[in-house]
Amino acid sequence: MAKHAGYTVQTDPEKTARSIGKEMPISPKGAVEVCRAIRGLPIEKARSLLEGVIAGKVAVPYRRHLYQIVHQKGGVGPGRFPRKVAKHVLYVLTDAESNAEYKGFDTEALRVAVAAAHHGRTWHQRMPRAHGRWTQKDRQTVNVEIVLEKLEE
């Protein structure tokens, strides 16, 4: 197995397809929760879950940082609808699926083996204040990685 730069796991290129999105301008907390929700799902279920979140019909269950997060319908428990995060993760998932198709894999028989989100680079910005002063405002980015693997037949 080869170690790939920028990925958290070593994968077998014969059985897996991967994709990574670097420095995406999304919430780190929301990205972790969305990745946790799609990890282990078949690719069609993961895609439908992300499209449901974007449409505002399916909530993503939150497991950490639960202060003032309300319970959602459908037995989800505490959850939210991180639409911007779901849109970016869906982009990375589609990219991984196209990589699998390029490798000759059956795209219907894939599952999300690894879905992880990590802090990316922080952009330092200045917010103008009164009397010629400014306050530093940090803009966080996230690196999202997705590895798809073939389902065993």
**Is the model's pLDDT at 6 over the cut of 80?**
no
pTM above 0.85, yes or no: yes
Cα(2)–Cα(12) distance, integer angstroms: 7
Residue 109's pLDDT band (boundaries 50, 70, 90)? very high
Q: Report pLDDT for 5.
A: 61
Residue by residue, DSSP assigns 85-153 as HHHHHHHHHHHHHHHHHHHT--GGGEEEEEEEEEE-PPEEEEEE-GGG-EEEEEE--EEEEEEEEEPP-
Q: Report pLDDT for 153.
A: 66
Closest CA relative to residue 30, chosen from 55, 6, 56, 65: 65
Question: pLDDT tens digits, residue range 28-83?
Answer: 999 999 999 999 999 999 999 999 999 999 999 999 988 888 888 888 889 999 99
**Is the model's pLDDT at 3 over the cut of 60?**
no
Centroid of chain to Cα 13: 21
In a domain, 142, yes or no: yes
In a domain, 35, yes or no: yes
Selected residue with higher pLDDT from 86 and 67: 86
Q: Report pLDDT for 56.
A: 93
In a domain, 106, yes or no: yes
Question: pLDDT tens digits, residue range 87-102?
Answer: 999 999 999 999 999 9
Identify the domain containing residue 97 by its residue range: 16-150
In a domain, 3, yes or no: no
In a domain, 104, yes or no: yes
**DSSP single-letter state for residue 48:** H
Count of structural domains, the chain? 1
The dihedral through the CA atoms of 134, 118, 13, 99 has a sign that is negative
State the average pLDDT for the chain: 92
- Which range, of 2-6, 23-27, 63-67, averages the lowest pLDDT? 2-6
CATH of the domain at 115: 3.90.470.10
Contact between 23 and 141 (Cβ < 8 Å): yes
In a domain, 1, yes or no: no
The dihedral through the CA atoms of 28, 34, 38, 40 has a sign that is positive
Question: pLDDT tens digits, residue range 121-131?
Answer: 999 999 999 99
Residue 18 in tokens = 């991967």
In a domain, 69, yes or no: yes
Q: Report pLDDT for 92.
A: 97
In a domain, 21, yes or no: yes
